[in-house]
Copies of this chain bind each other. A is one copy, B any other.
């Protein structure tokens, strides 16, 4: 077996598991999102603020992917939602079999939205379907406005790009229009939101988008 054979076998096994996750959540009418970004772009903080806004009227659950520490699942549980940590032990992305295992072990109560936070890595998670309805890419303004063209795969595939930490814009060099232009080239159908968990900017639009997508998924099923 060559290196390419091994990689194809791994991806095929992942696709099969992802199809099972997708089928389950189609039946249940649950929206599944897969958050992907660099380390420290604010994935966990975005989820904390999402729970604060939506937790009162929607049932949320979270799967947290990290190489080490239970820290992120602890943060989500502190918001009052059920959360399960997947520790990859060194692996650079989540795969759909890990998600299936976490769902089986966690036995979450029925939920409207499943929030999957991938391992902090702007590259490797892109190739692994987790059975999600949409990939969401995060990009903090501190990371610089050249990132979509430098990491084109994720920004091509993410249906939504969320610019985070907009409260830092006065203190960094970051041209939102340049990011918007790159994303529009890579992904003409993609949505771009500008947010700050700290100031609350854009959080209503983000949460409203999730509610719309959930409603659309349920309408398509009906």
Contact surface of A with B, Cβ cutoff 8 Å: 1-3, 6, 10, 38-41, 66-69, 71, 90, 92, 119-124, 140, 142-144, 146-147, 149-153, 165, 167-168, 171-172
Contact = CB atoms under 8 A, between A and B. Distances in A.
Contacts of A69: 146, 149-150
A22 B123 CA distance: 28
Contact of A68 (B10, B92, B149, B165): B149
Nearest to A1: B1
Contacts of A92: 92, 121, 123-124
Nearest to A71: B146
Contacts of A172: 168
Given A92-B123, A124-B124, A168-B172, A152 B38 contact: no
Contacts of A41: 143
Contacts of A150: 39, 66-69, 71, 120
A153 B6 contact: no
Contacts of A121: 92, 121-124
A116 to B, nearest CB: 17
A178 B69 CA distance: 15
Q: Which of A6, A39, A124 has the most CB of B within 10 A?
A: A39
Contact of A168 (B1, B144, B146, B171): B171
Contacts of A143: 38-41, 142
